[in-house]
Amino acid sequence: MWTINATYKSNRTILPKILDHFGYYPTCFTIITNRAMSQKLSPNPTYDVIILGASGFTGKHVIREALKFLNVSSSPLKNLAIAGRNASRLSRALQWASGPNPPPEIPILAADTNDPSSLRHLASQTKIILNCVGPFRLYGEPVVEACVDSGCDYLDICGEPEFMERMEVKYHDKAVENGSLVVSACGFDSVPAELGWMFSSRQWTPPAICSTIEAYISLESDKRIVGNLGTYESAVLSVANVDKLQELRRSRPKKPRPVILGTSSKGPMINHLKEVGLWAVKLPSADATVVRRTLSCLAENLHGLPGVNESTEQIERREEFWSTIKPAHFGMKIASKYLLGVVRFITVGKFIALFGKTGIGRWLLLNFPSVFSLGFFRKKGPTEDEVASATFKMWFVGHGFTDGSLASQGNRKPDMQIITRVMGPEIGYLTTPSILVQCALILLKERDSLPKGGVFPPGIVFGPTDLQDRLQKNGISFDVISKKTV
């Protein structure tokens, strides 16, 4: 047990990072505090939503997105607050997000991820906390714990598989008991992948059946592409945590696996998708892990997760939706128009895999991101022009059979292909805030039709809602590109 006195505020942020870089981050980390250790959600919370970590790169864009829906007649968002450690930084973030208009009178609340009592107090005042404080492996668990204890809902933009699965193991049962809905990966990681494979699956109408879906993510820009530094930090720490993730999975009871007709093949390391003119390599991202968790939930709940107080119409809508979704083998690849671009992806991946295994290696990766990412990431983040010019395209290539009965005929190859596409603006500062806010609006508006509580991936919770329609109205499109026999 490691114990740190909360009065040493200057050390509270840097110490966990230093420990983690050198492999000494403790599994049990307690902050001494004199404040109350348990606060329940008020029957009438002061706020609909609190944005935690609102002064960060992504957080200020989340504020800007949320302000679009604050006190709008058609929006359920009527009360909003922002929270973090530094009031002056939060004030500047609010001013930036409100521009060119003067900032609205929004409460700025004090909270620190290293002060659990401040988080419990925060959670007791709101229906939902939107957590933008990463890396989540270092700072996420106290926020989840506070929300679960208080009974408020929790959404984040995490893309770290070990964190998400560990939260499910530790807090799912208590979240169900207390009525706290905890959903990670409510940003570019991993909603486009989740909704994308569901959209692709729905194009396979009986008797046709899909056996594999491969997603190809392509990032495009008229200017230089610069990624979110938090994403890079998460990738580095995920490599450091691979052994813990594998140990966690081995320690858990095996969950039901979905029955998938047909087989999947690994294929070459690099492949050329001629239909859309892209070269691609396998991407070890959170997306595939999150989709598999949703498929596992669906194997246990064939009609999806029942809502806490659903109407007959809502039950019928949910069951009809999931009847159109069939499980398939799923994988992710990162793509480029040029083979040299794929070589660059591989090089960065090798750097992270090699240096991320040791403390000194992680220190180098995290202190010199532009060097080891070959310019993909930098500490100061992208400029506004770079954000505005960037877009993403995610292609979903499904292979299957014109008739499901063919899938059981030995090693018969698929005879049908359907390609769909999800497309939208820059992933870290435009798409992610938009998705996160839309998920929060759905929670506010449709809470009775959603599960009482628990720790879940986004697909199983938001799949049957109108999230796809909402995203389409906010610049993220879903299209069928081609259907053909092969």
pLDDT of residue 180: 98
pLDDT at position 164 is 95
Q: Prior bond to 207 cis, omega within 30? A: yes
Distance in angstroms (rounded) separating the CA atoms of residues 300 and 414: 27
Query: Both tokens of residue 419?
Result: 């390609």
| Confidence (pLDDT) at 115 | 94
pLDDT of residue 2: 36
Low-confidence ranges of the chain (pLDDT < 50): 1-37
pTM over 0.75: yes
- Mind giving me the DSSP string for 425-469? E-IIIIIHHHHHHHHHHHHHHHGGGS-SSEEE-HHHHHTTTTHHH
Residue owning tokens 């595939």: 288
Which of 73, 66, 51, 52 shows the shortest CA–CA distance to 98? 66
Helix (H, G, I), strand (E, B) or coil at 283: coil
Choose among 338, 439, 437, 477: nearest CA to 69: 437
Residue type, 136: F
3-state secondary structure of 234: helix
Eight-state DSSP code of residue 27? S
For residue 36 the two structure tokens come to 């109350």
Nearest to 229 by CA among 351, 134, 143, 364: 134
Neighbour-count burial of 99, counting CB atoms closer than 10 A to its CB (0-12 exposed, 13-18 middle, 19+ buried): exposed
Q: pLDDT by residue (tens digit) across 98-134? A: 999 999 999 999 999 999 999 999 999 999 999 999 8
Please give the pLDDT value at position 7: 34
d(CA 362, CA 40): 39
DSSP characters over 81-147:
EEEES-HHHHHHHHHHHHTTSPPP---EEE--TT-HHHHHHHHTTEEEEEE--S-HHHHTHHHHHHH
Determine the Cα–Cα distance for residues 153 and 439; give it in Å rounded to an integer: 11
pLDDT for 6 equals 35
CA distances from 299 to 185, 203, 284, 294 (A): 21, 20, 24, 9
Report pLDDT digits (tens) over 64-100. Answer: 999 999 999 999 999 999 999 999 999 999 999 999 9
Predicted pLDDT of residue 440? 98
Could you give the CA distance from residue 365 to residue 369 in angstroms, rounded to a whole number? 6
